[in-house]
Amino acid sequence: MRAFLRWSTLMLAWAGGISAADPVLHVSTPMPPPSWALLEQELLKANSVACERFAEKYLDARGYLLHTPRWGTLDGPDDAIETFYNWTLLHALGGSDRVLALFKKAYEGHLLQYSELRTQLTDLARHGAYFNEFITMSDWYHTGEGLRGFFFQGLSDPYDERLRQRMKRFAGLYMNEDPEAPNYDPKHKIIRSLWNGSKGPMLRRATVYDWVGDPVPGRFHLLHNPAGRTRMLDLMTYYPKMLAHCAEYLDSVGDHPLNLAATILATNAFMLTGERKYRDWVLEYVNAWKERIEANGGNIPTNIGLDGTIGGEFGGRWYKGTYGWNFTIYDGELEAIAHRNYFDAGSWPGFGNALLLTGDQGYVAVLRRQMDNIYAQKKVVNGKVLVPTMYGDPRGYRYTGREEWYHYREEPFTDRLIEIYLWSMDRRDLERIPIRGWIAFLEGADPEYPIRALQAEFERLRENVEQMRTDPTTPTTRLADWLLGFSPARTDELVRLMLGGYFGRGRIWVLHSRFRYFDPERRRAGIPPDVGALVEKLGPEDATLILVNTNPVEPRTVVVQAGGYAEHQFLAAETESVRLELNQPYLTVRLEPGCGARIRFRMKRYANLPTLVFPWDRGWALGEAFKQ
């Protein structure tokens, strides 16, 4: 029997946004269970069980991580909680409720555990790593790493009052709502230092102790040092090397594009509460950066002075500063020159948030122009296209008067280019992206990719669990970063294949996707049991999704949402035989036992203000969720 569409009352006790008048897509065409669907379901289950085993081994009854706590960016508080960075995302995909509960236990325990930390060589953690539950001071490369799981919690848990209050309070740290943390200068529209947090901005040069913390006695595997991966090192003896790692990381004063990642707090606060002040602040801050970048020829400056001028702390040299375009240093720990330009790590999240909150493709154009500037300097060597990753004096960090592009590499910005393309869906943006893997699948060039990718995730999960079983460390010989390598949740491929979303190595901590799913029977986020979802094709005004119920006995119902935060709008849904006109950001699909369908959605992207409210609780008729 072929799939058919009709208007119907779904016999479920739903209230609010979804009503009896809403369309329901009834799917009754038999579909043998595809291998990818069975693999998705089993991966969600295996991930969930592995997370439980991980928590059993590495969390105590209080939620404390079993390790030796230290302050610092090499193996400090951000690494400890980053271990659980995607557990909330796993739950939002369809992982077990136990995974979400364990994350919350780990997060509460983490805040207590690191509030008890005391340092002597830096004031930043002299009375604890956290003040009012937020890091006292750090840079947003590391602060953001530690907050990823917290950012994703709203996907599954938007009604948790503690989450809502924390997100509002943390966002307020950058909106001058906390008199103890004057991080933001509203006159010049800058965050005043690379180092910022609940104790305010650092308006002095940092010290190596701010970055590294105190030494602690004992032997540890130091993952940031290659030798530490294979043998134990005495930390007291090795400590001078750790200080040498950060010897040139001391410039702190003034704004940096890393700080654009702080907009994730206000973006989430807006999506949790609908309070416009959070959206207004994000746009004020991102627009100030947009103007500076335009004034700088399209290049994202890595220092804004306290007076609001480009390169103001370095005599107008826009490329200077810690983690800047010219951050070519001698790493005394590795005993090698290192190039660490993080101009993109905060700017892509920040401009992506502005796009999410406005639908304005002008924010994507800023990022595209930066890539245009870089690719204008390309070289072709032995048939390979090489582009620069640094700008300034190629002989080192200190200014000598010679400025040029340098440190050429092949495909250094692939993740960033993919993000630009997925946000714009402009085929011209696809031209710089290697057509392989997931992108090749979306282009119809690699139909076997989903099965191959999911099987690879099972192998990585097996390896992670094996590392857990054979872990040679104990709490007294384990630092915070040791567990990062084998935290068991595997979500990257599930996000790509199920949602049409993308998380690259660039650490964007907001979910940009074409779809998300909700289980109306269990009243929670995530794909219902037995349902498989595969995003087969993405276009600027449409997307093709395969949905299947692999259960041959029981029907399943799933709510399909347009976008991770309902930011898109469905205009129509089509199967082989029927077309349904729509004008809303969700569609309820009823899948009969063993049935499935390929559905082509016509949609308007970035049509709605984003929200974390579940579909059945939305008052769409009030118009609050729609852009005016």
H-helix or E-strand containing 69? none
Q: Using CA atoms of 521, 523, 525, 531 in order, give the dihedral in degrees to the nearest 10.
A: -10
Q: State the number of CA atoms in the 13 A half-sphere of 203 facing the CB.
A: 12
Q: For residue 391, give the 3-state DSSP assignment.
A: strand
The mean pLDDT of 446-450, rounded to a whole number, is 98
Please say whether the beta carbons of 23 and 582 come within 8 A: yes
Give me the pLDDT at residue 332, please: 87
DSSP string across 407-430 = EEEESTTHHHHHHHHHHH--HHHH
Q: Where in the chain is the domain with CATH 2.60.40.1180?
A: 514-613
pLDDT band at residue 12, thresholds of 50, 70 and 90? very low
List the Cα angle 326/382/369 in 5-degree steps: 45
Please say whether the beta carbons of 497 and 593 come within 8 A: no
pLDDT band at residue 399, thresholds of 50, 70 and 90? low
Give me the pLDDT at residue 523, please: 97
Distance of alpha carbon 194 from alpha carbon 321, whole angstroms:
9
Q: Indicate whether 6 pLDDT > 80.
A: no
Give 506 or 603, the one with higher predicted confidence.
Answer: 603
List the Cα angle 420/426/431 in 5-degree steps: 80
Give me the pLDDT at residue 305, please: 98
Distance of alpha carbon 503 from alpha carbon 123, whole angstroms:
35
pLDDT band at residue 11, thresholds of 50, 70 and 90? very low
Give me the pLDDT at residue 14, please: 34
Give me the pLDDT at residue 224, please: 74
CA distances (Å), 534 to each of 28, 270, 439, 551, in order?
18, 30, 14, 17
Q: Contacts from 445-454 at CB under 8 Å and sequence distance 24+?
A: 450/36, 450/39, 450/497, 450/534, 451/35, 451/36, 451/39, 453/493, 453/496, 453/497, 454/36, 454/39, 454/40, 454/43, 454/493, 454/497
Query: Strand pairing of 569-574 and 579-584?
Result: antiparallel
Which runs of E-coded beta strand occur in 211-351?
Answer: 219-220, 233-234, 328-331, 336-339
The mean pLDDT of 513-539, rounded to a whole number, is 98
pLDDT band at residue 19, thresholds of 50, 70 and 90? low
pLDDT above 90: percentage of residues in the chain: 87
Q: Indicate whether 171 pLDDT > 90.
A: yes
- For 61-90, the pLDDT digits (tens) are 999 999 999 999 989 999 999 999 999 999
Give 9 or 94, the one with higher predicted confidence.
Answer: 94
Q: Indicate whether 20 pLDDT > 80.
A: no
- For 49-64, the pLDDT digits (tens) are 999 999 999 999 999 9
Give me the pLDDT at residue 383, please: 92
Q: Indicate whether 9 pLDDT > 90.
A: no
- CATH no. of 514-613: 2.60.40.1180
Please say whether the beta carbons of 567 and 609 come within 8 A: yes
Q: Indicate whether 5 pLDDT > 70.
A: no
Q: Indicate whether 627 pLDDT > 60.
A: no
Distance of alpha carbon 2 from alpha carbon 627, whole angstroms:
37
pLDDT band at residue 18, thresholds of 50, 70 and 90? low
DSSP H helical ranges for 339-391: 343-358, 362-375
- For 266-312, the pLDDT digits (tens) are 999 999 999 999 999 999 999 999 999 999 999 999 999 999 999 99
**Which amino acid appears at position 150 of this protein?**
F
Report how far Cα 437 is from the mean position of its chain's Cα atoms.
Answer: 20
Distance of alpha carbon 101 from alpha carbon 96, whole angstroms:
9
The mean pLDDT value of the chain amounts to: 93
Q: Indicate whether 487 pLDDT > 90.
A: no
| Confidence (pTM) | 0.95
Give me the pLDDT at residue 13, please: 30
Give me the pLDDT at residue 393, please: 81
CA distances (Å), 506 to each of 57, 323, 372, 502, in order?
30, 14, 19, 10
- For 224-242, the pLDDT digits (tens) are 776 666 678 899 999 999 9
Give me the pLDDT at residue 591, please: 97
Q: Indicate whether 16 pLDDT > 80.
A: no
Query: Strand pairing of 515-519 and 336-339?
Result: unpaired
